[in-house]
């Protein structure tokens, strides 16, 4: 059967895995050799957190979990940031880490700590690989990672196991995890859905991340059109309904959220469709109205405050299909007022003529990047603007983290997107703070000759933190990243840097970047003052 490392890699390939991301160690060499021989791509990263982010994004774009690796001690703790991202952003992943040799487990050993205890709250399941039960453990890990709600699993690899001979699987033991697919909601629940829906005059649909996994977009559009219901989205549900759809009402939580609130505060019924509060709690925006929750799990909401909660637990598309089959409802929404509100919101998101702030930077990028191109973004003030302003034709074309919201996500997610979708144009938008965290990954982008345009919205500050300080009437303190006179380098780890101080220079830099056959950094020195007009507005 070969060695443990050979069999593990063979199992990964059987499952359709294409990439393993990480930073190697001595005990990992067995697995690297197995990958080399079997044609599985080991992607060397600069930071193990990047490995986790990349595995997360690969799963989002392909539906197949990728793997990431960190060695004993600091490798595992670095990796955990990306693992937590997959846990809170709901991405299936196989996280691997080296542990001390089996005979030293529990002993005082250099770099060692209890990784099983460490990864337990960050994953759906954690275990340690056994040569006797390798097939069973890997199969179970995949099923747990992919089952609702998807997320990462962790497998510890003792440093002495990779070169051992793999043996036949041992006896089956019960391993925790819900492996069944969601079943349709019961007839009684569907009747309750119908009763609550018919009693409403101004229902509102709130769509979340789980609806994207369920591929529920066409049904949501059909329901909105048939029953004349406005739809709001969470940031990670972007693309499930076009911004040009007549019943699209905006994105919760992000820029100009008070404009979106002008719609949702009128609702007398909220229909949550795959709404995952990991992005934005119901209580932070929802009016005091009944909630119909169409999801695979019960709604996480304060039921002492919101007493009219009806959980339609089951397969999301089945419940939506039932709602779509009901006779057309004559709601009291004023579609003209909704359209005017949306037009006013997008007009305010458009850049003022002659400006070069974040609105202009995004608008020009949206114009140049093909409609089917992929844009990833980091975390910061710009994220809130992207969430509302970036036109997203379908899910998977704008990639962000909102459940975990870790700075440093943007650069590795763009690299993963290009590896998984080499036929697509890919751009990354990052603040200078997030880029500083992952600048080392430019070496990977250059080594692989990945044609990605990395846009840095350079304002020399942790702008979102500065804005929050200002909102509390605090003095701006310790948010400056570097001084204004800091020179722009020609290259970062061999990747060329194009500086832009005006909108016209920026446009030319983007066009040049997308024509280049490798990575390019566009350092856009924007005026950040307009952020304060657009984000962190009251939304309830």
**Which of the 8 DSSP states describes residue 527?**
-
pLDDT band at 124 (very low <50, low <70, confident <90, very high): very high
CB 410 within 8 A of CB 376: yes
The last residue of one of the domains, among 340, 369, 399, is 340
Q: For residue 504, is pLDDT > 60?
A: yes
Question: Do 208 and 92 reside in the same domain of the chain?
Answer: no
Residue 363 belongs to a domain with what CATH number? 3.40.50.970
What's the CA gap between 439 and 421, in Å, rounded? 22
Please state the φ and ψ torsions of residue 361, each to the nearest 5 degrees.
-60, -45
Question: Do 140 and 250 reside in the same domain of the chain?
Answer: no
Section 7-23 average pLDDT: 96
Question: Do 239 and 329 reside in the same domain of the chain?
Answer: yes
Residue 330: inside a domain, yes or no?
yes
Question: Do 324 and 354 reside in the same domain of the chain?
Answer: no
Quickly count: other Cβ atoms within 10 Å of residue 538's Cβ. 7
Q: If you average pLDDT over every residue of the chain, what do you get?
A: 93
The more confident residue out of 140 and 538 is 140
For 417-461, what is each residue's pLDDT tens digit? 999 999 999 999 999 999 999 999 999 999 999 999 999 999 877
For 184-224, what is each residue's pLDDT tens digit? 989 999 999 999 999 999 999 999 999 999 999 999 999 99
For 452-489, what is each residue's pLDDT tens digit? 999 999 987 778 788 788 878 888 888 887 777 778 88
Residue 169: inside a domain, yes or no?
no
State the pLDDT at residue 404. 95
Report DSSP letters for 465-510, one per residue.
HHHHHHHTTPPP-S-B-S-TTPPPPSEETTEEEEEESSHHHHHHHH
Residue by residue, what is the 3-state secondary structure of 285-331? Answer: CCCCCCEEEEECCCCCCCCCCCCCEEEEECCHHHHHHHHHHCCCCCC
Q: For residue 357, is pLDDT > 60?
A: yes
Quickly count: other Cβ atoms within 10 Å of residue 427's Cβ. 25
Q: Which residues pair with 70 in a beta bridge?
A: 97
Residue 182: inside a domain, yes or no?
no
State the pLDDT at residue 177. 44
Question: Do 373 and 502 reside in the same domain of the chain?
Answer: yes
Residue 103: inside a domain, yes or no?
yes
State the pLDDT at residue 482. 78
CB 452 within 8 A of CB 445: yes
CB 159 within 8 A of CB 98: yes
What's the CA gap between 246 and 233, in Å, rounded? 14
Please give the structure tokens belonging to residue 244. 């040009």
Question: Do 331 and 357 reside in the same domain of the chain?
Answer: no
What's the CA gap between 136 and 130, in Å, rounded? 10
For 156-193, what is each residue's pLDDT tens digit? 999 999 999 988 554 444 444 445 578 998 999 999 99
**Which of the 8 DSSP states describes residue 166?**
P
Residue 227 belongs to a domain with what CATH number? 3.40.50.1220
What's the CA gap between 382 and 476, in Å, rounded? 19
Question: Do 244 and 276 reside in the same domain of the chain?
Answer: yes
Residue 165: inside a domain, yes or no?
no
β-pairing, 491-492 vs 495-500, is: antiparallel
**Which of the 8 DSSP states describes residue 3?**
B
Question: Do 423 and 370 reside in the same domain of the chain?
Answer: yes
Residue 179: inside a domain, yes or no?
no
* 149 preceded by a cis bond (ω within 30 of 0): yes
State the pLDDT at residue 169. 57
Question: Do 148 and 59 reside in the same domain of the chain?
Answer: yes
**Which of the 8 DSSP states describes residue 202?**
S
pTM (whole model) above 0.75: yes
User: How many structural domains is the chain composed of?
Assistant: 3
Q: For residue 397, is pLDDT > 80?
A: yes
Question: Do 88 and 198 reside in the same domain of the chain?
Answer: no
Whose structure tokens read 């959220």?
A: 257
Question: Do 439 and 500 reside in the same domain of the chain?
Answer: yes
Q: Is 408 exposed, middle or buried (0-12, 13-18, 19+ CB in 10 A)?
A: buried
Whose structure tokens read 């994105």?
A: 251
Residue 175: inside a domain, yes or no?
no
Please state the φ and ψ torsions of residue 539, each to the nearest 5 degrees.
-120, 15
For 374-395, what is each residue's pLDDT tens digit? 999 999 999 999 999 999 999 9
For 244-282, what is each residue's pLDDT tens digit? 999 999 999 999 999 999 999 999 999 999 999 999 999
Question: Do 520 and 405 reside in the same domain of the chain?
Answer: yes
Domain that holds residue 126: 4-158
Residue 166: inside a domain, yes or no?
no
């Amino acid at each position: 059967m070969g060695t443990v490392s050979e069999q593990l890699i063979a199992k990964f390939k059987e499952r359709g895995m294409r990439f393993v991301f990480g930073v190697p160690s001595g005990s990992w060499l067995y697995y690297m050799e197995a990958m080399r021989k079997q044609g599985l791509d080991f992607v060397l990263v600069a930071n193990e957190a990047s490995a986790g982010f990349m595995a997360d994004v690969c799963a989002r774009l392909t539906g197949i979990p990728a793997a990431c690796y960190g060695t004993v001690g600091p490798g595992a703790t670095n990796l955990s940031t990306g693992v937590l991202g997959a846990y809170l952003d709901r991405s299936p992943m196989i996280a691997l880490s080296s542990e001390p040799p089996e005979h030293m487990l529990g002993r005082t050993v250099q770099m060692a700590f209890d990784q099983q205890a460490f990864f337990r709250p960050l994953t759906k399941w954690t275990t340690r690989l056994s040569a006797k039960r390798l097939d069973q453990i890997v199969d179970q890990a995949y099923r747990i990672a992919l089952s609702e709600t998807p997320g990462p699993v962790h497998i510890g690899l003792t440093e002495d196991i990779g070169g051992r001979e793999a043996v036949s699987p041992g006896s089956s033991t019960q391993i925790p995890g819900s492996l069944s697919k969601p079943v349709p909601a019961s007839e009684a629940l569907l009747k309750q859905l119908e009763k609550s829906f018919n009693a409403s005059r101004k229902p509102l649909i709130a769509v979340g991340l789980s609806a994207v996994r369920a591929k529920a977009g066409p049904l949501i559009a059909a329901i909105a059109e048939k029953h004349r219901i406005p739809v709001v989205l969470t940031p990670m549900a972007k693309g499930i309904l076009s911004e040009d759809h007549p019943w699209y009402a905006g994105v919760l939580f992000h820029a100009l959220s008070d404009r979106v609130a002008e719609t949702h505060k009128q609702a007398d019924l909220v229909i949550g469709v795959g709404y995952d509060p990991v992005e934005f709690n119901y209580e932070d925006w929802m009016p005091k109205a009944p909630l119909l929750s169409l999801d695979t799990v019960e709604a996480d909401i304060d039921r002492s405050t919101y007493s009219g909660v009806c959980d339609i637990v089951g397969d999301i598309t089945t419940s939506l299909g039932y709602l779509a089959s009901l006779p057309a409802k004559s709601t009291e929404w004023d579609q003209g007022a909704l359209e005017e509100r949306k037009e006013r919101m997008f007009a305010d998101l458009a850049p003022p003529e002659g400006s070069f702030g974040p609105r202009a930077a995004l608008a020009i990028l949206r114009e140049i990047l093909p409609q089917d191109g992929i844009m990833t973004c980091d975390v910061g003030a710009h994220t809130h603007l992207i969430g509302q302003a970036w036109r997203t034709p379908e899910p998977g074309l704008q990639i962000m983290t909102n459940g975990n919201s870790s700075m440093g996500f943007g650069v590795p997610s763009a690299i993963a997107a290009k590896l998984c979708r080499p036929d697509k144009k890919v751009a990354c938008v990052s603040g200078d703070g997030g880029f500083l965290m992952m600048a080392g990954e430019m070496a990977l982008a250059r080594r692989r000759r990945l044609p990605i345009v990395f846009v840095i919205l350079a304002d020399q500050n942790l702008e979102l933190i500065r804005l929050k300080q200002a909102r509390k009437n605090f003095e701006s303190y310790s948010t400056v990243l570097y001084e204004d006179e800091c020179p722009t380098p020609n290259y970062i780890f061999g990747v060329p840097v194009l500086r832009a101080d005006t909108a016209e220079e920026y446009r030319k830099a983007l066009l040049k970047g997308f024509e280049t056959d490798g990575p390019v950094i566009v350092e856009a020195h924007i005026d950040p003052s307009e952020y304060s007009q657009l984000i962190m507005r009251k939304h309830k």
